[in-house]
Amino acid sequence: MSSQNEAAYLDAARSSPLAVKDAPEPAPPSSNQLIIKAKAIAVNPMDAMIQQTGMIVPPEAYPYILGCDVAGEVVAVGSSVAKVKPGDRVLACAERGCFQKFNTVDQSLVTKIPQNVKDTEACVLPLALCTAAVTLFQKDTLALDLPRLDARPNGKVVLAWGGASAVGTNGIQLLKAAGYDVAAVAGNRNHQYCKDLGADYVFDHKSADVEKEIIETLKEKSFAGVACFIMSMDIIAACARIADQLGDNPKNKFVGTVLAPGMNYQGPLPDGVSIGYTWGDSLKYNEVGPAIWDKWLTPALANGSMKCKPDPEVVGKGLESVQAGLDQVASGVSAKKIVIEIA
Ligand SMILES: NC(=O)c1ccc[n+]([C@@H]2O[C@H](COP(=O)([O-])OP(=O)(O)OC[C@H]3O[C@@H](n4cnc5c(N)ncnc54)[C@H](OP(=O)(O)O)[C@@H]3O)[C@@H](O)[C@H]2O)c1
């Protein structure tokens, strides 16, 4: 590689703005890795939370590079990488470190971007898609049926609380591709958005009677569980009460959450209801990762059944714009993803 690498560094816990400076050239990729020249990156709430609180990053890891979502061009591949080659356009999910010009990533959470999708669109997906997939399909969470390109309705309904969030947006689309009916909970202004993604029922999270309305509407349906895509103990408690009312066995008296393992839910839990935890990239260690990233995602994007949602809002060009993106995510977004063009 000839071009100089640069990164937007978090120099110390809670420091702001990020410092854009030269970064080391990436080492040659190991056998399972590839190097991507970033064209567009997206910001996640966790990036903003880490910058604001200093959580997760040990003191010795500074200066630190945030960022999990990248789309760009492959510039080098390791000896075992057969799914992509230099010159391919790809999207990828990294554990962290995407806020730089050259990203070294494991091949497991990488796939080609079809021609009909722009880099600024593709980069909205990676972490939100992975997180939703873990919550819905992993054996230690809801363990639902996996998505297929020829989706076959199975007549079962899943409640997706937080349908307009980035994770929920992916969750609705994954559930439809897996054959489920979806009942989405979102703000009123995003009800049409959720329906356009495929939601069969929508509920307003601000309604005082939302729990009652959900239970009344779904009580005669074949119920498959709750995915709570909002990190709130009160909402998880509400989801647990709903699962208690609508579920009739241990599999559907279950709330898959976006709480990371270790963030133990301490709230009330009706007898017989269980909670699942999610670590966004754990699917690369089990059958869910290949089912989504190797078999389903690229053709689903190419045929339009999977959409790059929430829509990107491009806040700037160049790594200098990443801080503006972090600030915007920290102040809250609704049904949109904050994106920075890199090249
Ligand atoms: N465990 C992990 O590995 C992992 C990985 C990634 C993300 N996460 C977590 O997952 C959560 C979602 O992330 P994200 O990127 O999807 O967030 P996001 O897109 O920034 O979430 C914003 C959305 O949340 C919705 N929302 C807020 N309060 C709500 C409520 N009471 N009921 C229903 N919807 C509500 C808003 O919907 P309206 O505008 O319609 O009100 C808004 O569209 C975050 O807490 C994040 O930290 C965890």
Question: Among the atoms of ligand 1, which is closest to the Cα of residue 131?
Answer: 5
CA angle 182, 188, 189 (to 5 degrees): 105
Pick from 50, 55, 159, 167 the residue to mutate for probing ligand 1's pocket: most ligand atoms within 8 Å of its CB. 167
Question: Among the atoms of ligand 1, which is closest to the Cα of residue 336?
Answer: 19
The residue assigned the tokens 């630190």 is 64
Quote the ligand 1 centre to 330 CA distance (angstroms).
12
Rounded to an integer, what distance in angstroms lies between the CA atom of residue 235 and that of residue 193?
21
Let me know: does 171 contact 142? Beta carbons within 8 Å. Answer: no
Nearest CA to ligand 1 atom 42: 334
CB-based burial label for 115 (10 Å; 0-12, 13-18, 19+): exposed
124 lines ligand 1 (CB under 6 A): no
Cα–Cα distances (Å) from 258 to 176, 278, 283, in that order, read: 19, 5, 14
DSSP 88: -
Rounded to an integer, what distance in angstroms lies between the CA atom of residue 77 and that of residue 66?
23
Let me know: does 126 contact 159? Beta carbons within 8 Å. Answer: no
CA nearest to 194, candidates 172, 224, 211: 172
Q: Which amino acid is at 248?
A: D
48 lines ligand 1 (CB under 6 A): no
Quote the ligand 1 centre to 230 CA distance (angstroms).
5
Residue 31's H or E segment, with its range, is none
pLDDT, position 95: 86
Rounded to an integer, what distance in angstroms lies between the CA atom of residue 91 and that of residue 111?
6
Contacts of 256 (CB under 8 A, 6+ apart): 135, 136, 141, 142, 225, 226, 227, 228, 276, 278
Quote the ligand 1 centre to 12 CA distance (angstroms).
26
Q: Is 323 helix (H, G, I), strand (E, B) or coil?
A: helix
Rounded to an integer, what distance in angstroms lies between the CA atom of residue 235 and that of residue 242?
11
Quote the ligand 1 centre to 45 CA distance (angstroms).
8
193 lines ligand 1 (CB under 6 A): no
Rounded to an integer, what distance in angstroms lies between the CA atom of residue 158 and that of residue 143?
12
Rounded to an integer, what distance in angstroms lies between the CA atom of residue 211 and that of residue 103?
44
pLDDT, position 1: 53
Strands (E) located in the chain: 6-9, 19-22, 33-42, 69-77, 89-93, 102-106, 110-112, 156-161, 181-186, 201-204, 222-228, 254-257, 274-276, 311-317, 336-341
- Which tokens go with 273? 């209801």
Q: Which amino acid is at 122?
A: A
343 residues of the chain, pLDDT tens digit each: 556 999 999 999 999 999 999 999 999 999 999 999 999 999 999 999 999 999 999 999 999 999 999 999 999 999 999 999 999 999 999 988 999 999 999 999 999 999 999 999 999 999 999 999 999 999 999 999 999 999 999 999 999 999 999 999 999 999 999 999 999 999 999 999 999 999 999 999 999 999 999 999 999 999 999 999 999 999 999 999 999 999 999 999 999 999 999 999 999 999 999 999 999 999 999 999 999 999 999 999 999 999 999 999 999 999 999 999 999 999 999 999 999 999 8
Q: Which domains does the chain have, with CATH numbers?
A: 6-125+308-341 (3.90.180.10), 130-282 (3.40.50.720)
Beta strands at 222-228 and 254-257: parallel, antiparallel or unpaired: parallel
CA nearest to 49, candidates 266, 231, 318: 231
